[in-house]
Amino acid sequence: MNEPQYILFPVRSAEQGYVRPEIGRDKRSNRIFDAKTFVFDLTNDRWYRGDGATKGGVDLKSEPLYISSADARYLRQALNLSDLPDKLAARTALDVYSKPEAGLMADWTPYVSPPAGSWWATPGNFDNQVIRRPDGTFELARDFDAYWETATRGLTVTELFIDAENGDDVTGDGLTWGTAWKTLAKPGAETSNWTSVQAVILNIRGTFDWLAMWSITGVDPAKPLMVRGHGEARVAVSVAASTITWTQESSPNTDVWGFDYSAQSAPVGARTPNGVYDPGQLDAFGDYTSYSSAESIEECQASPQSFFLDTVNSKFYVHTATDPSSTSAAVSVDRCGLALGTNAQTFLDSITIEGGWASIITGSSTTMQSLFYRRCKFTSTFPDPAGVQSGNAMNFTPSPNGLCIGWDSIATKAWKDGFSYSGTNTVVEVRNIGRSNGVDVAGTAHNGTTGHGAIRALLLSGQYYKNLNRNVHYVQTSTLWAIGCAAGDATTDLTDADQSVDWFVSFTGGGVTAWLDRCVRFGNSLHPLMVIDGTVRVRNCNFQPADFTGGGSAYSY
């Protein structure tokens, strides 16, 4: 069969076979086909953007679009360019659509232009990375897998396996599920075996006691590390109440049970308890129940589902309906879930981190640190007894120039804030949910997502609701661009009810530093928008600039 070497497709043509060119998407790089033309090269089964060099009389770009050989064969068959016998059903790397679908979507515009004059409009600052999906939601042109591929291109990736239920740190070598290790401490203990490793994937499944810091000595700190969950993958920075020996208090405090944490064996003995949550008691959203804090045994007795930490006598108390050892409650301990330190590029995929004083924390760094996470849940955090860590679900604080991007993840039931950022860093949230944060009802403003310092934040189709006082909160010299997000039903405390706000901004020095596009507010929050200082631009929202309160300004754009 004589096939042409190249097939050229004009953009926005619904008549060129079964491909929808104007919104075809390479799922590995997640690039949208939006050039003037693009080319399918039949000699190597690859797409090329048609706005570069010339080859065979057809414009070609030097950088190809990635497509697997299996999908290339499928595409060739779909275009009736060959008679390959394998009728592949999988479409893992390229979206392929029928002619009717292509015709229906012909007017769809994929890219969203950043606000003029914003940081995001500067070339290289995600200026061509925001796309609008046909369903009206928004996302990045590059997804989690594309960032991992870029980070590991040219590197040797070593996969390790850790199974909390069936693994064995003594006999296992960690190289397969059948020979998996058992604990998350094992990779670090085996550093001498991995001095030549360039990039690492830790495959984990089961429930782990806690996770401190993943690091493998000998690996260049700039080399990437991924922790990928399989099935139920939970890192519990806590101890099951059923494993602790409790003592019931005497009358009149008989609903209170306590234990001496200084006398407990590991892991409690190594850390101080700092809170209680119950994975067996779920709220309407499927989130764990968190206990409140009491200041004395008597107050704990008066408050069901509360705890009291007596650091003077190394005692920890909890109010439950029965002996805590017969409940599903968990005692959070004074530690974080993941501390980002030596690895500059960290990827988290499909894991839950619960308990402790933060699910994730990063320290200041002189070099750029990057965190990418997908389908994760950060929940049930409490402050540390020393008062240093406030109990945010996620603290991303490296500076300067850190990068943090999350997809389809949830921060909930944090003592204070859900997604929390500070420093001079760039953060992106894609379809994230920050809800029910601010378990500490005595606080004045706890948020679903928040930025302090000089954060550059891009929020795409996120949902932020039922957080204490302020659902979305960006202050100081931060820059915020929110598209297609929803915020509502901010809860209030008794001392600061006027702070029930869906969108709160306060920018030191003024200037236009926030843009809200196609965002909505809902529910019973007192204020849709509060601007203390600076200027916010609003368009296509279900609230108007005139609806704002505060000493700043809000205008349409």
Angle at 354 (CA atoms; ends 351, 357), nearest 5 degrees: 130
Give residue 412's pLDDT: 98
Q: Do 382 and 464 lie in a common domain?
A: yes
pLDDT digits (tens, 9 = 90+) for 347-386: 999 999 999 998 887 765 555 688 999 999 999 999 998 8
Lowest mean pLDDT among 164-168, 367-371, 472-476, 553-557: 367-371
Lowest mean pLDDT among 192-196, 470-474, 515-519: 192-196
Q: Is the pLDDT of residue 74 over 60?
A: no
Confirm whether 19 is domain-assigned.
Answer: no
- Which amino acid appears at position 285 of this protein? F
Q: What is the pTM of this model?
A: 0.81
Confirm whether 517 is domain-assigned.
Answer: yes
pLDDT digits (tens, 9 = 90+) for 132-176: 876 778 988 888 988 898 888 888 898 999 999 999 999 999 999
Angle at 520 (CA atoms; ends 517, 522), nearest 5 degrees: 165
Confirm whether 383 is domain-assigned.
Answer: yes
Q: Do 432 and 459 lie in a common domain?
A: yes
Residue 511's pLDDT band, with cuts at 50, 70 and 90, is low
Alpha helix locations (H) across 79-164? 99-104, 144-152
Q: Is the pLDDT of residue 27 over 50?
A: no
CATH code for the domain of 434? 2.160.20.10
Report CA-CA distances (Å) from 390 to 78, 109, 470, 519: 56, 43, 17, 29
Confirm whether 131 is domain-assigned.
Answer: no
Q: Do 318 and 348 lie in a common domain?
A: no
Cβ(427)–Cβ(420) under 8 Å? no
Q: Is the pLDDT of residue 266 over 50?
A: yes
Q: Do 356 and 419 lie in a common domain?
A: yes
Give residue 510's pLDDT: 66
**How are beta strands 352-355 and 370-374 bridged, if at all?**
unpaired
Average pLDDT value for the chain: 78
d(CA 423, CA 396): 8
d(CA 70, CA 229): 26
Give residue 213's pLDDT: 46
Last residue in a domain, options 329, 351, 370: 329
**How are beta strands 58-60 and 456-460 bridged, if at all?**
unpaired
Q: Do 269 and 340 lie in a common domain?
A: no
Q: Is the pLDDT of residue 93 over 60?
A: no
Confirm whether 301 is domain-assigned.
Answer: yes
Q: Do 401 and 441 lie in a common domain?
A: yes
Q: Do 522 and 388 lie in a common domain?
A: yes
- Report how many domains make up the chain: 2
Q: Do 342 and 248 lie in a common domain?
A: no
Domain residue limits at 267: 241-329
Confirm whether 225 is domain-assigned.
Answer: no
Q: Do 320 and 414 lie in a common domain?
A: no
Confirm whether 506 is domain-assigned.
Answer: yes
d(CA 302, CA 152): 55
Average pLDDT on 7-18 reads 31
Residue 480's pLDDT band, with cuts at 50, 70 and 90, is very high
Q: Do 322 and 340 lie in a common domain?
A: no
Give residue 337's pLDDT: 83
The greatest distance separating any two alpha carbons of the chain, rounded to the nearest whole angstrom, comes to: 92
Give residue 258's pLDDT: 96
Q: Do 399 and 487 lie in a common domain?
A: yes
Average pLDDT on 208-219 reads 53
Last residue in a domain, options 295, 329, 363: 329
Residue 294's pLDDT band, with cuts at 50, 70 and 90, is very high
Q: Do 321 and 340 lie in a common domain?
A: no
Instruction: Estimate to the nearest angstrom the gap between the alpha carbon of 299 and the chain centroid.
Output: 37
Confirm whether 135 is domain-assigned.
Answer: no
Helix (H) or strand (E) holding 316: strand 315-319
Beta bridge partners of 46: 41
Last residue in a domain, options 288, 312, 329: 329
d(CA 481, CA 506): 14
